[in-house]
Structure 1
């Protein structure tokens, strides 16, 4: 078991509400509190150890159910927005392999702790062809082609890679994503960063990886339910007494509400634990959580 420290990251669209989900203090607009990540750019420190998650994965990948050279394939965060996020798309598996030499792209899912003020998110688009889509982009007529999906508290939304999407103002979510953490922006409301420089768009890459007919999957997500997709499973659970990881890959358990104690160590909401295959936890205090399990599907497609 590895208990992880949070990594809060400021964003111009972020919210101070996320401070309640971070183990580390960070004033101002926090866009994401990274709860579990083992990428080169975002690497979770391990509580009570002078090591990071990436370091222990690289040292002994087999203990995580990984092969030599593989990185831990999931990133878990709490993400919140006091403004609309950019209209964006993430690379598909094929596009990521061809352009950035990654074995997979970036699909993700959101569980809504707080729904957006508008009651909907950006999800998919309505253009019949890429030519129609590009014309709308060039004429700055995004609103004419963007799809929307209504969401409520405790909705879960799965966004397959290649799908246009955006969180909207007021939302606060538990987010699970693949570790190819690449975002291509179509449109960003002409916003500038803290230095006054207009934020970069990536229209060419975004259009190339866009899957026109694709949209999101939405469902209500009660306790005990599981979202099972190609890239991962995530289960909303109430854990008490004992828990064993019966999967072949390491899982990420993230506290959703309140605090808990495991092996006499306190763990607060938003914080994550890595549980290795066949490892058992002894739980001192019952808690509501998300249990995320990656799937090594890229091994099959690379054969």
Structure 2
């Protein structure tokens, strides 16, 4: 078992609302609090250790149910926005392998703790032609060819890689994604970065990996429910007395609300605990938890 220290990242669309989820109090516009991540550039440290998640995995990957050279294949975060995110798409498995030298692409899911202000996100397109999407991007009217996908509090939305989408103003989500942390932006409202330059777009790659036929999937995800997708399984429950991982691969238990203690070590909202394969630990306190288990399919 390893308790992780979350890492916060500032974003132009970020919000102070993520301070409540173990966000860095020195950052006002937090876009994401990375609760569990072991990739280069976002590698969570371990409580009580000088080592990071990826460092301990590389020492003995079999201990985590992984293969030599693997990074932990999931990233867990709390993401929130006070402005719309860019219109974007993530690479498919095939595209990631060919163009990014990654073993898999990036599918993800959002559990809406707070829904967007307007009651919808951008997901999927109304146009059936890539050319019309490119024309809309050039004319800065990309919203005309996108679907406004209705969202309510506590919806779970799965976004397969290659699907156009964007989180919209007001939303706060528990986010699970594959560890290929690559985003291709179609459109970003001409926003400027901290250096005063327009943020980079990746229209050519975005249109190449876009799969027009794909659909997002909406599920309920109440306490007591389990949702299984190709890339991961997530379980939503109230944790008391024990935290257990029945899988043969390390899983991540993340606190959505409440507080747990492992011995005398508190674990607060926004924090994650990595449970080794078939590991069970005693806890005190009570918390709403999501347990995420990766699937090794590639």
TM-score by length of 2: 0.98
The farther-off stretch of 187-196 and 235-244 is: 235-244
Are 2:113 and 1:113 equivalent residues in the alignment?
A: yes
| C-alpha deviation, 1:152, in angstroms | 1.1
1:211-233: CA deviation from partner (whole Å, max 9, x where unpaired): 01212111222101112100001
Q: How does 1:74-89 map to 2 (within 5 A)?
A: 74-89=74-89
Q: How does 1:1-303 map to 2 (within 5 A)?
A: 1-22=1-22, 24-298=24-298
1:32-85: CA deviation from partner (whole Å, max 9, x where unpaired): 000000001100000001100010011110011001111110000000100000
Query: For this pair of structures, how many residues does the alignment match?
Result: 298
Q: Give the unaligned 5+ runs of structure 2.
A: none
The farther-off stretch of 52-61 and 126-135 is: 126-135
SS in 1 for 2:293: strand
Task: State the match for 1:301 in structure 2.
Answer: none
1:127-148: CA deviation from partner (whole Å, max 9, x where unpaired): 1122222222223221221012
CA distance in 2, matches of 1:22, 1:284: 19
| C-alpha deviation, 1:244, in angstroms | 2.3
Maintained 8 Å contact 1:164/1:215: no
| C-alpha deviation, 1:14, in angstroms | 0.3
SS in 1 for 2:197: coil
Maintained 8 Å contact 1:120/1:150: yes
| C-alpha deviation, 1:179, in angstroms | 0.3
| C-alpha deviation, 1:121, in angstroms | 0.3
CA distance in 2, matches of 1:174, 1:35: 10
1:251-299: CA deviation from partner (whole Å, max 9, x where unpaired): 000000121112231100000000000111101112111100000001x
Backbone CA RMSD of aligned residues: 1.0
